Structure 1
Amino acid sequence: MSAVLAGHSALGLAFSAVIYLICLTGSVVVFVEELERWEQPEAPRVVAVAPEVIDKGLTALREMGAKDEVRSVSANLPSPANPHLVLSARSGDRTHSGSWFADAAGQPAMKVRHDVSDFLVGLHINLHLPYGIGTVIVGLAGLALLALVISGVLAHPRIIKDAFRLRSGGSARLSQADLHNRIGTWGLPFHFIIAFTGAFLGVFLIVLGSVAATTYKGDMTKAFSEFAGPSARGAAEAPRTEPVPPSAPFIAAATAAAPGFTLQSVSIQQPGAKGQMIAIGLRDPCGLPLSESAVYDSTGRKVFASDVAKRSFAQQMIFAIQPLHFGWFGGLFVKLAYGLLGLSMCSITATGFQIWLTRRRDKGRPAPIMERLWTATIWGQPLALTLAAIPSLVTDAKAAPLLAWAAGTIAAYSLACLPSMQTRLRARLRAATAVALTGLALFHAAISAANGVSAVDPMSWAVDAALLVTAIFVARPVLKPRRTSPARLAQAAQT
């Protein structure tokens, strides 16, 4: 058992900082739809869309640039979680590529700008490193997390018996160990699911990239066609002389083949070309594999259907892995549960490394520099992520969140290098995080109110309120008055 515990500690130490960052960003990415609404609260709200409106929107996208340059156009339909009609175009002309919020008539009204959400998702998935390197590191961290969950259970044979044993008031190491073990025990099913699905997604992308490199000459689209369907790239050079068919017949055929599903998206690949294809995406409001897709040629012949319900259990699990990992099923209540349990994984990671540091100090081998660097990791990252969101309120620069996060991270670690910060670093970083969260919420609310309260998405106010509540929670230990010992009171009275 001691060998298992030693291996558990070594593995945790090796990946602790990366795992903590991935768990922290994952807890936020659960709410990515809400964050996207918070970023652009003035976007036109659309509840329902008719096929004719979809056709108008896709036609408007094609007319924005040269038709021969348009490679694909798509419409993502409103849902209860995201009441917006989003039109997207991919074109050889970058000026006319991107996504737009459309009004109820289907006309593009506002360019979609989700810089903060995109930054957080990228940081969680590949740490904003080059795709191959970042994906491999995150995949290995997922495998390490899964191994830590399993080895943590094996290293504690009394894990169930001691499930409610929490020693407080004793040594710091025992209190931290009990907190680490109890949180790990109470959230064990969730932690295992998140670790397993995270490891699976990381390994799956690595394997898929290897298959694409060896079998499909690096073409990820071809490698993924078994799940996503064929593409019409072969028609890219064909003249755009064909009419684009209306979407209504394709929508009717796809929904008839999947009863109970609702329309999620309509996309046209190589619109106007002889080999154009129309893809219909459907959403299952009840099942865990949330989507189905069907692809048709311009004559109405179905050339692909995902048919998730008819696939083997293993293939169904592949489709279900992503919503299961991120909590994108079951509505807001499930998201809140995922967010809180994700923060519990952050706490387990933080206390696990702290236990090792405290054990070293108890044995007379303290590592003060490592202690300060770990404190800068635990409380510097929430500060850096908050700072990353602030520039998006005043600038459209795509790289602004990444630069602000990097600046906050460097500042936190720079403070940790100062020996004078040994006892004050945690409090100062917590205070700075609370101030940044409060400033972000108030500044965003003020900007939103300036656009007219009635035009602001209610979700925007909810996110601002959540930021203020989080700021209060973070600042509470800092604001709590310190208790003065009787000896110090007596000394003060004498003087």
Structure 2
Amino acid sequence: MAKQSGKAERNGKKWFWQLHHWVGLYTGILIGVLSLTGAVAVFIPEIDGLIQRYHYNALSSAPSNGLPQFSKSIDSLTRQFPDYRSWSIRLPHNPRHAAVLDMTIRPKTGRTQRMEFFIDIGKDRVLGHRKWQNSLANYLRQIHVRLYDGIWGRQLVGIGGIALAFVALTGLLIYGNFMKKQAWPNFRKTLDTRIRMADWHKILGMSALAFNLVIALTGAWLGLQPWLARWFDISAPRKYKSEILMEAKDDKEIVVDWDVALRASHEAFPDLKPLQLLVSSNGAGTITLRGNIPGTIYERDVNMIVLSKIDYKPLFKYDLREQPISHQLYYIQEALHFGDFGGLPLKVLYAILGLTSGFLSISGFVIFLFRRKKKMRKTDNPWKAIIVYTLLTILFLSFIAFITFTIGYNLASTIAEIVINTLLIGLISYALVRFSIKKFSQKRQFTSTSK
């Protein structure tokens, strides 16, 4: 009985090892790309803040009355672009930094453009502008969230999250008991590259297991959200449906007294720190103020209050602390995924730990190549393949970034879609052909043995 139990355990570990091996091998490049881009993406607000201040010279003077001033700038821009579709303004965390007016402009010819205008909130003047889609901040987010593939890149990233969770859990099942019996960290004294890399693979994989599971599961949820929302009829819980009270043209012409609006917001929702201000342009006659509540772990700008444009009375308030646990779980995913709740030290830790999944991807590939070299008695150097794959990946990321900054997002996205979907079709085809050949060989071998 004990022998059967031991055999079953060995067979189970062998099965888990095979799953760990093949899932890691076929999704390794995807996990590596997401690891690298994610380690940089956690710093998007800080990187973009530096670009705004030093490239666009978007520095603000301190407001004289303590409240940000931007009414004149908004009035000037809305008159300059009367056919705008919508606009919102993001207030800075630091009063010395510029506010950013995000305006969607619908020109008479060409595609709709999303422009950002930097505003001095002390002197109420426009400092400069840029196309949001062609910015480094947008590149970093889009390359990590959807690999620049608008067809189904976001879902592919979600599948990558599932793959990372899968290899992390199977790694725990394979090496968990083995690692408990060893002092941490324990490296075998050998010059064998495969063994040394295997030790690093196991130790870092087990050390970062909890972090990688959090990143993998939250990434899977965020990536697969469009599919999950459709399949299970899930909708964003924070909703306010406003009534249409007037013509859209009349709504646009209402001048908002922002000092009054900000004071009314503070009276109705004292704990809210408004960071994003939106006004209706469809006839609803509303002002929406979104922001954060200090000391909470939720994604940015999820709490909000809606005021009337006419009398500044509160129409709707959404305080996530007062909402059901289902709402809180829904809005905690992005904060946990990007570490956007503990300041710069936590982001640095996230970046370091995030790179471990990329290292696990590379080290797993190294182990596979060296094992195959030994088994098949090949003389070629496995490091050549690793260097080629790494350089091609970096070249792809750099090329898409270059096209984005010099020509534009739309062309870069089109190129990325062609490259990624071609590689995906090729990978799936290769896996199916390999599987079919293996099954055919096994069937032939069985037939010849039977004879």
Check whether TM > 0.5: yes
Counterpart-to-counterpart distance in 2, 1:34 and 1:241: 33
AA at the equivalent of 1:153: L
* Corresponding residue SS for 1:112: strand
AA at the equivalent of 1:71: R
AA at the equivalent of 1:302: P
Shift of 1:21: 0.8
- TM-score under structure 1 length normalisation: 0.70
Counterpart-to-counterpart distance in 2, 1:170 and 1:125: 40
Counterpart-to-counterpart distance in 2, 1:80 and 1:169: 53
- Is residue 77 from structure 1 mapped to residue 91 from structure 2 by the alignment? yes
- Is residue 266 from structure 1 mapped to residue 277 from structure 2 by the alignment? yes
AA at the equivalent of 2:84: V
Residue equivalent to 2:45? 33
Residue equivalent to 1:60? 76
Residue equivalent to 2:9? none
On the 8 A contact 1:197/1:325 being kept in 2, the answer is yes
Shift of 1:88: 1.6
* Corresponding residue SS for 1:227: coil
On the 8 A contact 1:30/1:326 being kept in 2, the answer is yes
On the 8 A contact 1:46/1:83 being kept in 2, the answer is yes
Call closer, same or farther: CA 1:392–1:295 in 2, change over 3 Å.
same
Structure 1 unaligned residues grouped into runs of 5+: 216-222, 410-495
Task: Map 1:138-157 onto structure 2 (within 5 A).
Answer: 138-156=157-175, 157=177
Counterpart-to-counterpart distance in 1, 2:161 and 2:294: 29
Counterpart-to-counterpart distance in 1, 2:232 and 2:153: 18
Query: Of 96, 100, 107, which aligns to 1:86?
Result: 100
- Is residue 122 from structure 1 mapped to residue 137 from structure 2 by the alignment? no
Counterpart-to-counterpart distance in 2, 1:169 and 1:369: 19
Counterpart-to-counterpart distance in 2, 1:96 and 1:143: 34
On the 8 A contact 1:26/1:124 being kept in 2, the answer is yes
Q: Percent identity?
A: 23
Structure 2 unaligned residues grouped into runs of 5+: 1-12, 421-451
Shift of 1:249: 3.4
AA at the equivalent of 1:111: H
AA at the equivalent of 1:110: G
Residue equivalent to 2:35? 23
Task: Count how many residue pairs are aligned between Structure 1 and Structure 2.
Answer: 393
Task: Map 1:353-368 onto structure 2 (within 5 A).
Answer: 353-364=365-376, 366=378
Shift of 1:65: 1.7
Query: Of 286, 294, 310, which aligns to 1:285?
Result: 294
Counterpart-to-counterpart distance in 1, 2:68 and 2:349: 39
Counterpart-to-counterpart distance in 1, 2:232 and 2:249: 29
* Corresponding residue SS for 1:275: coil
Query: Of 99, 112, 118, which aligns to 2:116?
Result: 99
Call closer, same or farther: CA 1:244–1:17 in 2, change over 3 Å.
same
* Corresponding residue SS for 1:72: strand
Query: Of 127, 130, 147, which aligns to 1:109?
Result: 127
On the 8 A contact 1:194/1:325 being kept in 2, the answer is yes
- Is residue 160 from structure 1 mapped to residue 180 from structure 2 by the alignment? yes
Residue equivalent to 1:44? 58
AA at the equivalent of 1:170: L
Call closer, same or farther: CA 1:63–1:187 in 2, change over 3 Å.
same
Residues 155-197 of structure 1: CA distance to partner in whole angstroms, max 9, x if unpaired? 1122333331122433221111110111112222211111111
Call closer, same or farther: CA 1:26–1:228 in 2, change over 3 Å.
farther
Counterpart-to-counterpart distance in 2, 1:402 and 1:334: 31
Counterpart-to-counterpart distance in 2, 1:170 and 1:369: 16
More off after superposition, 143-152 vs 51-60? 51-60
Task: Map 1:411-450 onto structure 2 (within 5 A).
Answer: none
Counterpart-to-counterpart distance in 2, 1:169 and 1:81: 57
Shift of 1:367: 9.8
Residue equivalent to 2:3? none
Query: Of 238, 241, 249, which aligns to 1:227?
Result: 238
The Cα RMSD (Å) is 3.4
